[in-house]
Chain A
Amino acid sequence: SLSRYNYEQYHSLDEIVRWMRHMNKTHANLVSMFSIGKSYEGRKLLVLKLGEKNASYKRAVWLDCGIHAREWIGPAFCQWFVKETINAYYNEPEFKKVLSLLDFYVMPVLNVDGYHYSWNTDRFWRKTRSKYRFNCYGVDANRNWKVNWCEEGASLNPCDSTYCGPSPESEPEVKAVAKFIYKRRKRIKAYMSFHAYAQMLLYPYSYQYDYIPNFKCVESAANKAVEAIRSAYGIRYRHGPASSTLYLSSGSSIDWAYNNGIPYSYAFELRDTGYYGFMLPDSLIKPTCAETMLAVKNITMHALKKC
């Protein structure tokens, strides 16, 4: 029963879509669901908007999960976030105020084709499921954004896991999200994307080692966010620019979002650090999501203030 949806378990794409429809129906005062386009294989690209429905101009925060198909803890977190945000609206006066001031756009599964393929066929699939002229399937959806596309840390070989695609935004999923965010870039104050695994909180740049202009603000918010994560269960996350904290990669969503005017742009690499890797068990969904929720709330509050 959807009223007893289990957030401490991974779900198939069909189950996630059913859950999204259910949330749209049962929390109509706070939630609205819409499609921003279609995937390569023709699936709807669904987004939930969370926030009080008032006529005023509202700032926004964007969250996406499941850019890489095998990183299942991402979509699990996005669902957890929606559930917790609705709970917080009714139980936390401060958060109720936040939802009157801003909207959250949540895309639980960006790479829907890849997630479906990972669930049913190849658990460790990473890329999309597009196919162009060559024999290999898929593009790395985090190398396909129009920002220093296909330079360091990306590959022009269609058979590589970091294939950047035949052109920037070749993937309909990437193009649809980019179009949606670009249209609302003045309202969106934070962009957050959820991946696994490394236990890191990363910000731009990914494609080069230079510091971003508002480094102090972004670094300060990241520092507080990882402290919030640690306060929950003692789990340590590293944080810093993606290029030096993780590795160089071009065409990433956080660089694109930042270059298009979104001041706080982060990629979370959730649990763990390799014991289970992509196969994080159901039992660790709750602590992972609970600690990440604190970080997201922290960043949201930071993004609402002047820095």
Chain B
Amino acid sequence: HLYNNRYAGDKVIRIVPKNDKEANELKNMYHQLQVDLWKPNSISSILKDTVTDVHTSSNSSRTLLDYLRKANIKHKILVNNVQKLLDMQNSSRPTRHRR
């Protein structure tokens, strides 16, 4: 596994807060979970209707997904397992080019 399998179970989730309340709650959640924010670059840029893409660890994604379901916040899992995707992309290369 690439990167010593550190991304096993990590997810990338897309969330678009539909009002200010959701946006603020999401910002708090991101701060607490210390997510890797892919979009936008900064938590402070998140407002109502901002497309947010977050990369979260396996544990944090469980917490985040639980929260999103309970709060009825629409979300989409863009990448279900980051490690799997990275390894798959590597294995699709010719053997001599694999990392």
A160 CB within 8 Å of chain B: yes
Q: Given A276-B85, A277-B39, output 5 extra A-B contacts at Cβ < 8 Å.
A: A161-B37, A274-B39, A277-B53, A277-B79, A279-B79
Residue of A nearest to B76 (CB): A274
Instruction: Give chain A's interface residue range (CB within 8 Å of chain B).
Output: 20 to 34
Instruction: Give chain B's interface residue range (CB within 8 Å of chain A).
Output: 20 to 34
A237 CB within 8 Å of chain B: no
In the complex the two chains form, is B3's CB within 8 Å of A121's CB? yes
B32 CB within 8 Å of chain A: no
A140 to B40, CA, bound (A): 14
Q: Pick the contact of A153 from B12, B42, B85 — CB < 8 Å?
A: B42
A282 CB within 8 Å of chain B: yes
Question: B85 to chain A: closest CB distance in Å?
Answer: 6
A278 to B45, CA, bound (A): 20
Residues of A110-167 whose CB lies within 8 A of B: 121-124, 140, 153-155, 160-162
- Chain B contacts to A: CB under 8 angstroms: 2-3, 7, 12, 14, 36-42, 44-45, 51, 53, 55, 78-79, 82, 85-86, 89, 92-93, 97, 99
A233 CB within 8 Å of chain B: no
Residues of A254-284 whose CB lies within 8 A of B: 274-279, 281-283
A249 CB within 8 Å of chain B: yes
Q: Pick the contact of A277 from B3, B7, B12 — CB < 8 Å?
A: B12
In the complex the two chains form, is B14's CB within 8 Å of A274's CB? yes
A180 CB within 8 Å of chain B: no
12 A–B contacts from the bound complex (CB under 8 Å): A9-B93, A123-B86, A124-B36, A153-B41, A155-B44, A198-B39, A246-B40, A247-B45, A249-B41, A277-B79, A278-B38, A283-B92
A136 to B53, CA, bound (A): 23
Residues of A within 8 A of B45 (CB): 153, 247-248
A281 to B39, CA, bound (A): 19
In the complex the two chains form, is B92's CB within 8 Å of A282's CB? yes
Residues of A within 8 A of B3 (CB): 121-123
